[in-house]
């Protein structure tokens, strides 16, 4: 780290991996929230020699404030929708607006499923410890949706591992997860990018390369 900032997502992942490895988990599965969580999760998966998979979840941005999440939706036989009622009231987001954005984000989830996963074999979380990873968590909407979806899929223990998140969000996550590992909990939280020196926009190719490398490493271990 450099002056309270991570050099990049990979460094953040390596630092998180040290904390997660100390838990001595039995055959965990690491789940990244794409795109930004993938390089962080890849470092954790490599350190644990664990399979790496994705939770395809999308934020529902507020009207005129797309970076502010009124909720999130995650894929599945029945998509998991998480709504923050306080932010909905504050922003005036209507049910019609939420339904419209949900439809758009579900289409993007399907695009990402085809692009990132294709016919790739995926581990079954039933009865396993799962680690949900992102490059930073602001409101917690996407992480909560991911945690609830993995619970429905039978995960036995759910851990969140994240480089940076404000204290109130960590508290919210602790109500959903069995454990939360967060390296930095700044009282003044000015957005995730402010805590990285390199916070470039990840492209699809970077995601698929990380997944391919993890699959090659963990063949036969999922």
Q: Is residue 4 part of a domain?
A: no
Alpha helices by DSSP H, listed for the chain, are 9-21, 37-48, 85-91, 95-112, 141-152, 167-174, 204-217
**CA-CA distance, 59 to 61, in Å (whole number)?**
6
Cβ atoms within 10 Å of 201's Cβ, excluding its own: 7
**Residue-wise pLDDT tens for the chain (222 aa)?**
766 899 999 999 999 999 999 999 999 999 999 999 999 999 999 999 999 999 999 999 999 888 888 999 998 777 889 898 989 999 999 999 999 999 999 999 999 999 998 888 889 999 999 999 999 999 898 999 999 999 999 999 999 999 999 999 999 999 999 999 999 999 999 889 999 999 999 999 999 999 999 888 866 544
Q: Is residue 138 part of a domain?
A: yes
Q: Is residue 1 part of a domain?
A: no
Q: Is residue 184 part of a domain?
A: yes
Q: Is residue 32 part of a domain?
A: yes
Containing structural domain, residue 17: 9-215
pLDDT (0 to 100) of residue 218: 67
Q: Which of 88, 109, 107 is nearest to 98 (CA)?
A: 88
H helices then E strands: how many in the chain?
7, 8
**CA-CA distance, 21 to 13, in Å (whole number)?**
12
Tokens (6 digits) for 16: 């998180």
CATH (domain of 109): 3.40.50.2020
Q: Is residue 128 part of a domain?
A: yes
* pTM, 2 dp: 0.91
Q: Is residue 211 part of a domain?
A: yes
User: In total, how many domains does the chain have?
Assistant: 1
Is the distance from CB of 133 to CB of 32 less than 8 angstroms? yes
Q: Is residue 64 part of a domain?
A: yes
């Amino acid at each position: 780290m450099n002056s309270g900032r991570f050099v990049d997502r990979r460094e953040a992942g390596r630092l998180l991996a040290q904390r997660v490895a100390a838990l001595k988990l039995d055959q965990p599965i690491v789940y990244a929230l794409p795109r930004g969580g993938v390089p962080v999760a890849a470092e954790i998966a490599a350190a644990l020699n664990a399979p790496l998979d994705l939770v395809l979840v999308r934020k529902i941005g507020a009207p005129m404030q797309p970076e502010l999440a009124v909720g999130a939706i995650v894929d599945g036989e029945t998509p998991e929708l998480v709504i923050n009622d306080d932010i909905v009231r504050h922003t005036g987001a209507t049910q019609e607006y939420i339904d419209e954005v949900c439809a758009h984000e579900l289409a993007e989830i399907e695009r990402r499923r085809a692009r990132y996963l294709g016919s790739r074999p995926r581990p079954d979380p039933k009865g396993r410890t799962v680690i949900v990873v992102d490059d930073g968590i602001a409101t917690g909407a996407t992480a909560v949706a991911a945690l609830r979806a993995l619970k429905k899929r039978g995960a036995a223990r759910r851990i969140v591992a994240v480089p940076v998140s404000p204290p109130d969000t960590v508290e919210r996550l602790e109500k959903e997860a069995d454990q939360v590992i967060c390296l930095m909990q700044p009282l003044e939280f000015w957005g995730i990018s402010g805590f990285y020196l390199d916070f470039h926009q990840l492209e699809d190719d970077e995601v698929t390369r990380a997944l391919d490398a993890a699959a090659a490493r963990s063949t036969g271990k999922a």
